[in-house]
Amino acid sequence: MLLALGCARMAPPQTLAGTSWQLVKYQGGDGAVATPDDRANYTLAFAADGSFSMRIDCNRGRGGWKSAGPGQLEFGPMAITRAACPPESLHDHMIKRWPYVRSYVMKDERLYLSLMADGGIYEFEPLR
């Protein structure tokens, strides 16, 4: 008699290093949804050395990121340019919330960044 000992195949770990994304939408914990007028103006790239770069509408930012475990994510301080973006821009929205990103999920070719305390979720698609 053969015994099957839970030999489920594990999916390979997903990593953010070397990936680039553009913003699809932000869904707040209160249900409010914000979408960019042009997704190409809101991009995020993760480098293998632990740095990231962003385009946030009319500004650019750089900083560090780390993942202490599967699905965990934290961004360090970000250096950012200071151009004045138009009123309908999501610039201020993202700058205010970015330090509170704490986790991520990659599913169906999308990246979801979750803010702490159910503060909301940023949804990104691959940058092509």
| pLDDT band, residue 108 (cuts 50/70/90) | very high
For the cut 80, the answer to whether the pLDDT of residue 73 exceeds it is: yes
pTM of the predicted model as reported, rounded to 2 decimal places: 0.86
At 59 the three-state DSSP class reads strand
Using CA atoms, how far residue 8 sits from 63, 69, 70, in Å, is 38, 21, 18
Determine the pLDDT at residue 33: 97
Determine the pLDDT at residue 14: 64
* Residues 28, 20: Cα–Cα separation, whole Å: 23
The mean pLDDT value for 80-98 works out to 95
**Domain boundaries 20-126, corresponding CATH code:** 2.40.128.270
